[in-house]
Structure 1
Amino acid sequence: MNMPNLTLMESPSHSLSKPLQGFFNGTRSTLRRIHGILIERSWLLISGMLALMALSNPCVAQSLDQVLEEIGVTGSVLDAPPFDVIVVTAEHGGKSVQVNLLDLPDRKVPSSPKPAEKLRCVLNLFPGRLYEIQWKDISKIILWEELVLDRAKKLLANKDYAEAFEHLVYLRDNYPQSSNVQTLHQEFLFSSARDMASSGDLPHTLAALEELQRRFPNFRTEDVQTAISSVAAKLIDDLFARNELGVARSMILRLDKEYPGKLPMVAKAKSRFQELAETYRKSATEFRQAGDYGRARQAAVRMLEIEPELEGGKEFLNELIKEFPLVRVGVFQRASKPDTAALADWPAFRLGQLTSTPVFSFRNTGPEGGIYQFSYGNAVHSDDRMQLDLTLQNVDSSTVPDSLFLSQALLQRANIGHPLYVPGWASIFESVSVLGPERLRIRLRQPHVLPQAMMQWQLPKQGEQSFVRTIYQLKSEEDNRKRFEWIGESDAADFQPREIQEVYYEDPNQAINDLLKGELEFIDRLFPADARRLGGYRYIKTEPYALPMVHMLVPRGKGPFFEDREFRRALLYAINRSAILSDEILGGKPSPVDRLISGPFPAGASETDALAYAYNLSVEEPPYDPRTATVLVMLSQANQTSRAAKRKEPAPKLPVIRLGVPNFEAARVAGQAILQAWKIIGVDGKLVVYDELPRLEDDSIDILYMSAALWEPVTDAERLFGVGGPAETNNQYIVQALGKLNAARNWREVREGCQDLHALVAAHLPVLPLWQVSETFAYRTEIQGVAKRPIGLYQDVQKWRIQVR
């Protein structure tokens, strides 16, 4: 049997070319010195093996799979570097040789090359050597792209669509000129769509059919469009059944734009939307006639969601809004009572802003402490900080007390035997003088920088007379909805809300969906990741509140371990506060305000932030150190065992900590992460979710997760740690520091007192500081007049207007 003649080409530095005769026979007579080096023995062995294979195998036509098997390529061809295959003639054994990609014009094999001409190639066995072979010795050339295409066909036949698609994409991106790629792509899309439809995977079926129509518009156009129409109709039916009408409408609009007049289902779906929108308009009209404007508004919004271009639809909604402007607020925590000075009760503060009138209200931070507004007139604090002059305005109004009644209320809160007694107020109050029906003067025992902060309480009724100056009051409460009606002294202006409804949600996602659909106008408090997501909608605005909330853990358990400072420190060191804040709560996107803290007071957004006057920067943040935490737990156990032995009592066991968290998503997420951290150091626990802040005597929790509005540390410190405070303590060092702070006469002494207290809290841990977090609310853009960076949601609620579109 004759062997093909392959000639080894020398490198450019050599001019001589030498034929390498009998490439496949493996005899020593074929050897030549190449570049002065004798061909290695391994090549002799390979050559001999190939010669024996050529002699022993008859020359038969091979499939591509057999060719790949012959050259030793298994698995997916895409896993191997690209190569071509030269099949020599039957005369020379019909063997297949794997070579590097051939340099062919346009990657086309010549149809009738001259037999004497030679093809240059590089064998994969010898990547550094260039050979020539005469065309007369070549039976067939199999190109790399043909191998990939053949494998794609087989994968498609076996319905392995994922692998087939990978091969098709490769060919499309790298060999678009390859024959039959387009035809196979058409077959792939049609076959995969057919099979996905059979399995009920309608969304992917539609995607495959539309891809087929886009790429190959002339391929069975009528059949493909009929299939698109049929599948889309089934999808629309499913969306209607799930009440996802907004998604269904978007789909119809898209299909109508891309296939104008070509899909029969589009006209039917449009008619269906029209009929459903008319049904909602009828319902809205009936609710309107019955005076149920809330349900009428819901039906009208739904009507326009279904069919925005419904004839007369927008005018109907505008008339409804003007006739009875209504705002609905989604909330996640119910309020039991209003309290604008609530320290750790978010819903009470929210409700207080809407329905109560404190004597003084906190408006914002100033260069030295907070800015407070006297609700009934003007207030002047004397230069020596020893007295406060109050001037009442419009005392003839039923909502404004006279000076005598106000003075009695001030005395009551300084009387230790009165139910309304306030210890902090009593400690600074000396006397009150009535200077006339509209004026009174308060004398203090000692100078105080902010006595106004001690008077954020609401006046009691005088008989039937209430001194609430708000413009809304509670009208009714049913199921998960509270209604607040307009009670302003004059009629509400056009498009000013006559009613505000608070709608309680357990599921934040449902609240967000309702906001997007127009069934809510506000959500009062958002999980940070949700706030970022909603910020991407053009008709939704997100607004941060002005001041951050301080998050901390308050030990309340009565057992010996909770009284042990080292055990409390172990619990703090075990918590990876940075990871929980960044990953679990903020989703990796903190703002300058969101940060870890080392004490009970807010750190503000920077060192120069006026809010940060109480924060002690010299106190280091508690580390995350689970090893030390484990050691501290063991040390605490040893101490408790030793003390019990001295009392001849059984050693106490580690408690299963009941961690109480407010019913809000961010707190629940953080609570679960904290329990997992404690479990690592051998302390078990369980989560207890509360709707209202537990009282001190409540023994259902051992540690309280608290989110606190400590925006005026000079007075809030006493409200936090003092008698009746949520973190009440009898630690003598903390009590002495509170006394020193209460005696502060100027802002220098206030800052020193607060920062000393900060350091003592970090040392004794009556609370375990976690982090401060900014809060955000969201609202629809049709609501105008919403305050920028307000203290609370209902700040300046009297400016709200519903913009008609």
Structure 2
Amino acid sequence: MTRLSWTIRAILLCGVCLTTSTLAAQDTPPPRAVRPDDVPFERVIMREKNDYFELNIRPLVIPNGKFWDTMKETELVRIVTEDGRTLEVKRKFITSYVKFPQLLLDEANRLTSIGQLDAAYIFYDRLLSDYPQYEGLSTSLSGYLYENAKVAFRGEKYGEALGFLEEANSYRPPVDNLDTAINAAADKLIGNYVLKKEYASARDLIARLSQRRFGNVEAVAKWKAQLEGEAAQKRDEAKRLLAAGDLNGAFVAAKQMRFIYSDVSGGAELSEEIARRFPFIRVGVTVPSVTTNSASMTFAATRDRRLFQRNLTELIGFGADGSQYASPFGTLGRSAGGVEFSLLFRNPSEAYPCSAQLLTQPATSPRLALLQESLSYVDLENGRELRVQLKTPHVRPEALARLEVVDQLPEAVPYQDKTSGGLRRYVVNPNYAMRNPLQPQALEIENFQYSSRALASLRAGQVDVVDRLFPTQVDEAKADSSLVVDYYRTPSVHFLAPNFDNPLMQSPTFRRGLLYAINRGAILNGRLLAGAEIRGCHLISAPIPAGLEADDPAGYGYDNSINPRPYEPEMSVTLFRLALLELQQQAEAAGTEAPAMPKLLKLGHPDSEISRESITAIAKYLERVGFETEVVVTPPEAIRASDAGVDLLYVEACVQESLVDIPLLLSQCVPEEHQSRYLRAAVRRLNEATNWTQVRERFWTVHRLTYDETTLIPLWQMRDYFVRSAEFGGISRQPMTLFQDVERWSALSLSPGKGNN
């Protein structure tokens, strides 16, 4: 329809309105469409004779005490157009008056009807923000969500579709046919879960849809009956295998039964019987097991050591007063001044061999050597109480006694390696003195290249616990109500250990250049964390744990005032040249040949997912500054680069009691002759600290020296998560290591535990 040309004369003659400003004679253009970010305006439809036209106006001001619908037809309405023109019009000539929220809603409905759902969302967002109670919005949103669900359903995204439909159901009144749509989406989604053997997700969805607010969802009854049927088949299979004496097969079948549907009739009683007759655990590990007991402080060696030995004292956690120690052999005591500690043995026959070990010469381990340096005398009272006095006070004297005693007490070995074939198997030592009648009789260790595969095996009931999750898998595992996710009490410390047999690696300048060449922040935040923020995962300026929280007592050795060095590849190239020049000058002074800049750097790493991702990225950064690289896999206990035959060794270290462990870590990674005299003196003074003030101050000196000299190339620390089945029992909350409480483990709890949710 041709828009009316307005003039003052025409308006007056028609008696339509009186103007207070002159309107130029021109064609009135159609009003512009509403936009989601508009300043509020309104729209009127005006009539003149048989012609109608629309006009966008500023919000209408109606005289006090009057409402639009009750105004008389002869009353004048004052309107102001968007461009500032003022009109006075009789009420009877305005046939329609649309407020701003209705304009937004109309446009949202129009876009929804033509399938432009993303565009419509912006209008709904404005409405929910500014006009959440507007009449008609609730019904419109229900329809909008229904249309989104249809799109998701056609794309076979049944989880998204059901989510849209559940939200649509929360608006009143809901769109028609919503119950039918919910049933269709639920049927597809539960079916997919069952097909993928994600039974916990299927059970959770069935439980949620069983609530009254969803009405009668036919898919719930259908799939509940199917799960019960599948679980009953596994129950019957487990009974047959148990009767035939196949405990291993019965264990697996019962485990699968509980994963499918734990409430199946007779299932709990069967599981209880199997748990009593066959205490057997399957462990999934993401770092291969060590082949022999090792004093190495790598993640794998520290994890597995608990299976091979019990120590005279053991660190079991951290409390408000710091580290907490216990002894598996008896009761620990400590003098108020920290100059003496005692151990009252439960079994007197164990007292003499342990006390004799403390005086063994030469020391059989670095830890024993550290204790003997501080030792004043050893006394055995009444044949069962060991009393150890030190030359000077120590803040944690029992930390010095974390000594293995397996040579003196073979009965202190918890498990024996009975591996055959590809699956590592440990069987409980029949002579183990601290054996629990209900502890696992056997442990089978299965290695997984990726924690996602380990997680899938855990959900399928093929393993009971997984030692470590890749950071990007943590949220997924936490969302599964059939699992329990927890973390170790202290972070792992990640660094590159140089091979000091390489002349260039002996140069602090060259090592510092390597550090500047690696974009550690990009690797940690991009490849490992994938943009997520996990407290306790951050860059470090020295290979010393900073604790999981800002006030974590386990982080007493870290100096937070020293910031990690940035990524500066230009600086690294300069430092490489400077290091080469320094070595040339030293060679000239000594009359020897100067080493050349190596073309190839050999990088080693344990076969873990975190180290694989990290070393791949590190190699690329080193290639950008001119090196060729070769990446090789090293044994899980490897901690010294020269022993592993590589130039740089990626190390995942477990530092638990920093005061004792950091000096040991430095000695394991760096030959003493390649430690500067300043660092050796600082470590010696740290060992002589008699109070916490001295410990902190002297630790900060060690931190500063390792930072300045780049003794080791620090990368980051990680909060390491592990995951177990909800029905798996016996693991303490936030343990120091995975096998810390292995004597109390139980694969099939007599009462199912609660998962993450």
**Counterpart position of 2:755:** none
Change (3 A) 1:24 1:574: farther
**CA distance in structure 2 between the aligned counterparts of 1:83 and 1:379, rounded to whole angstroms:** 80
Q: What amino acid sits opposite 1:252 in the alignment?
A: I
Check conservation: 1:644, 1:650, Cα contact below 8 A. yes
Check conservation: 2:546, 2:555, Cα contact below 8 A. yes
SS of 2:604's partner is strand
Q: What amino acid sits opposite 2:508 in the alignment?
A: R
Check conservation: 1:337, 1:351, Cα contact below 8 A. no
SS of 1:730's partner is helix
Check conservation: 1:331, 1:504, Cα contact below 8 A. yes
**CA distance in structure 1 between the aligned counterparts of 2:575 and 2:366, rounded to whole angstroms:** 42
1:464-503 pair list within 5 angstroms: 467-480=410-423, 482-485=425-428, 487=430, 495-503=438-446
Among 637, 644, 653, the residue aligned to 1:708? 653
1:54-69 pair list within 5 angstroms: none
Q: What is the count of residue pairs matched by the alignment? A: 733
1:639-718 pair list within 5 angstroms: 652-653=596-597, 655-668=599-612, 670-671=614-615, 674=618, 688-694=632-638, 696-698=641-643, 701-710=646-655
Task: Quote the offset at 1:267 in angstroms.
Answer: 3.3
Are 1:53 and 2:27 counterparts?
A: yes
**Counterpart position of 1:355:** 308
What's the RMSD between the two structures over aligned residues? 5.9
**CA distance in structure 2 between the aligned counterparts of 1:185 and 1:330, rounded to whole angstroms:** 47
What are the Cα deviations for residues 150-199 of structure 1, in whole angstroms up to 9, with x where unaligned?
545553453323334555676788497768x7887777666665565555
Change (3 A) 1:226 1:651: same
Q: What amino acid sits opposite 1:73 in the alignment?
A: R
**Counterpart position of 1:564:** 507
Q: What amino acid sits opposite 2:509 in the alignment?
A: E
* Mean CA deviation greater in 731-740 or 229-238: 731-740
Task: Quote the offset at 1:268 in angstroms.
Answer: 2.9
1:376-525 pair list within 5 angstroms: 395=349, 410=360, 424=369, 453=400, 456-457=403-404, 459-460=406-407, 467-480=410-423, 482-485=425-428, 487=430, 495-512=438-455, 515=458, 520-525=463-468
User: What TM-score, normalized by structure 1, do the two folds share?
Assistant: 0.70
**Counterpart position of 2:32:** 73
Among 326, 335, 345, the residue aligned to 2:280? 326
Among 762, 765, 770, the residue aligned to 2:710? 765
Greater relative contact order: 1 or 2 (C-alpha under 8 angstroms, separation 6 or more)? Answer: 2
Check conservation: 2:494, 2:715, Cα contact below 8 A. yes
**Counterpart position of 2:57:** 99
* Mean CA deviation greater in 300-309 or 431-440: 431-440
**Counterpart position of 2:118:** 162
Change (3 A) 1:671 1:210: same
Among 265, 268, 277, the residue aligned to 1:314? 268
SS of 2:191's partner is helix
Check conservation: 1:428, 1:448, Cα contact below 8 A. no
* Mean CA deviation greater in 169-178 or 224-233: 169-178
**CA distance in structure 2 between the aligned counterparts of 1:654 and 1:610, rounded to whole angstroms:** 43
**CA distance in structure 2 between the aligned counterparts of 1:543 and 1:204, rounded to whole angstroms:** 29
**Counterpart position of 1:124:** 82
**CA distance in structure 2 between the aligned counterparts of 1:171 and 1:746, rounded to whole angstroms:** 66
Are 1:624 and 2:570 counterparts?
A: no
SS of 2:227's partner is helix
**Counterpart position of 2:750:** 804
**CA distance in structure 2 between the aligned counterparts of 1:567 and 1:447, rounded to whole angstroms:** 40
Check conservation: 2:333, 2:341, Cα contact below 8 A. no
Change (3 A) 1:425 1:112: closer
SS of 2:59's partner is coil
Are 1:741 and 2:684 counterparts?
A: yes
**CA distance in structure 1 between the aligned counterparts of 2:421 and 2:259, rounded to whole angstroms:** 27
Task: Quote the offset at 1:349 in angstroms.
Answer: 2.7
**Counterpart position of 1:343:** 296
SS of 1:276's partner is helix
SS of 2:443's partner is strand
Task: Quote the offset at 1:742 in angstroms.
Answer: 9.9
SS of 1:250's partner is helix
**CA distance in structure 2 between the aligned counterparts of 1:408 and 1:176, rounded to whole angstroms:** 78
Check conservation: 1:741, 1:753, Cα contact below 8 A. no
Check conservation: 1:152, 1:167, Cα contact below 8 A. yes
Mark the runs of 5 or more structure 1 residues left unpaired by the alignment.
7-19, 55-69, 415-419
Q: What amino acid sits opposite 2:304 in the alignment?
A: L
Q: What amino acid sits opposite 2:27 in the alignment?
A: M
Change (3 A) 1:803 1:766: same
Task: Quote the offset at 1:348 in angstroms.
Answer: 2.4
Q: What amino acid sits opposite 2:202 in the alignment?
A: A
User: What TM-score, normalized by structure 2, do the two folds share?
Assistant: 0.74
Check conservation: 2:312, 2:404, Cα contact below 8 A. yes
Change (3 A) 1:661 1:82: same
Among 235, 238, 253, the residue aligned to 2:207? 253
What fraction of aligned residue pairs are identical, expressed as a percent?
A: 22
Among 225, 239, 252, the residue aligned to 1:271? 225
Check conservation: 1:364, 1:370, Cα contact below 8 A. yes
**CA distance in structure 2 between the aligned counterparts of 1:320 and 1:642, rounded to whole angstroms:** 73
Check conservation: 1:486, 1:499, Cα contact below 8 A. no
Task: Quote the offset at 1:290 in angstroms.
Answer: 4.7
Change (3 A) 1:21 1:266: same
**CA distance in structure 1 between the aligned counterparts of 2:665 and 2:165, rounded to whole angstroms:** 65
**CA distance in structure 1 between the aligned counterparts of 2:134 and 2:113, rounded to whole angstroms:** 23
**Counterpart position of 2:89:** 133
Task: Quote the offset at 1:791 in angstroms.
Answer: 3.9
Q: What amino acid sits opposite 2:739 in the alignment?
A: Y
SS of 1:468's partner is helix
Q: What amino acid sits opposite 1:702 in the alignment?
A: D
1:264-303 pair list within 5 angstroms: 264-303=218-257
**CA distance in structure 1 between the aligned counterparts of 2:298 and 2:706, rounded to whole angstroms:** 22
**CA distance in structure 1 between the aligned counterparts of 2:431 and 2:154, rounded to whole angstroms:** 64
Q: What amino acid sits opposite 2:750 in the alignment?
A: V
SS of 2:56's partner is strand
**CA distance in structure 1 between the aligned counterparts of 2:68 and 2:670, rounded to whole angstroms:** 86
SS of 1:252's partner is helix
Q: What amino acid sits opposite 2:300 in the alignment?
A: P
**Counterpart position of 1:727:** 670
**CA distance in structure 1 between the aligned counterparts of 2:342 and 2:154, rounded to whole angstroms:** 82
SS of 1:310's partner is coil
Q: What amino acid sits opposite 1:308 in the alignment?
A: S
Check conservation: 2:36, 2:122, Cα contact below 8 A. no
Task: Quote the offset at 1:276 in angstroms.
Answer: 0.9
